[in-house]
Amino acid sequence: MSRRVVVTGIGVVSAIGTGQDAYWDSLSLGTNGIGNSTAYWTEDERGDGFQPRVAEVADFGSTAASLGESVARMDRFSQMAVAAADEAMADAGLALEYDAHRHFATIMGSGIGGHETQDQAYRNLALGKTRVHPLTVLRTIPSSSPSLLSIRYGLSGPAFTISSACASGAHAIGVCADLIRGGSVDVGLAGASEAPLTYGCLKAWNSMHIMSSDMCRPFSLNRDGLVIGEGAGILVLEELDHAVRRDADIYAELVGFGMNADGNDMINPSLDGICAALGQTVADVQLPDPSRLYINAHGTGTRTNDVTETSAIRQVFGPAADALIVSSTKSMHGHLLGAAGAVESVAAILAMRYSFVPPTINLDEPDPECDLDYAANVGQAREIDMAISNSFAFGGLNAVVAFGRAP
């Protein structure tokens, strides 16, 4: 029999709060973290009139500076990973004794890695400079975050980055859990970070015509696209008996994980693929009464995703879909690309812990094709026995994780 996996530590960095307490307070209140940003842009770039709506982590520079000199030299996405991991490790209260470091995995996700560093390097070359910063490669590679974390904590178990676009964070959590279930390790840091709010990256996303001109409005009839955000979410995952022996505070049990590829299209989601991933996640799980089931939706606010995701939930859960509750926290903290599934898993776990469903804000007018209970604009007190987090990525890469109450 495979071993059971539980969550014993949580860390988060987001536009609506750094640290799980600040993050949860903002989620439960329906705080909007979306606004304008020109933080990383030159005067020339600001002059072209491009001012997209983003979800930026304000004043993160001071947090990064407090993490130590080696971290301060890294790209912003790695700095955010360290900030979230420091919180998660402290929260878990782990003491690494004997050979524990060899049985500790570090599995991170990122869709694009150190884009701020890359953007700056290309800008300098375009401006006529002949050299780039000597740490450019180390800052840019997506594997820099698990490397930095394993060095910081002295961990020598498996350590790598999963890069599967917007499913990266969910994949990292699920794969780390599989390593624990299979006995390769006893404990793992699992999650993702992303810092994509650069001029070049946002210009590239804008060229796809899927970015909102105003706000992220998942499931609303007047939705007009996604809003890109930045941040990190990291969990400490632990084998159940290992956690019990040290009397750890257990947040939740990771009870289900499904992943697949649509095998269909680079952009358009497949209903069949999403249904298969969601169905795989809950196939061997004892489902609760549907009124006690919460789904943190992928919920991007794009025309196609929201309808397809709604249809998939209805197809997988049947008539029970009318009783369960869904919300998209992207409406508050934006779409964190590779880190989305990690930050939203934190939201799902905390919703279950505090018996409260965070709202989908900016839901101005219900779309007739999106006909579930989305906790529109105001959060709902509700006992939750299972919380599911959906992540669906470009290329048809799907990952779904399910959390149950602590054993």
Decide if 176 is catalytic. no
* Residues 380 and 356: beta-carbon distance below 8 Å: yes
| 45-46-50 Cα angle (round to 5) | 95
C-alpha distances in angstroms, 122 versus 72, 132, 230? Answer: 21, 8, 21
- Please name every residue paired with 220 in a beta bridge, in sequence order, or none if there are none: 366
Instruction: Give φ, ψ of 344 to 5 degrees.
Output: -75, -25
Among the listed residues 171, 176, 335, 370, the single catalytic one is: 335
* Residues 327 and 363: beta-carbon distance below 8 Å: no
Among the listed residues 115, 166, 216, 333, the single catalytic one is: 166
- Cβ neighbours for 171, distance < 8 A, ≥ 6 positions apart: 109, 162, 164, 259, 341, 391, 397, 399
Among the listed residues 115, 171, 242, 298, the single catalytic one is: 298
Decide if 242 is catalytic. no
Decide if 335 is catalytic. yes
Adjacency order of strands within the sheet including 228-229: 35-36, 53-55, 228-229
The number of beta carbons lying within 10 Å of the beta carbon of residue 40 is 19
Q: Which residues are catalytic?
A: 166, 298, 335
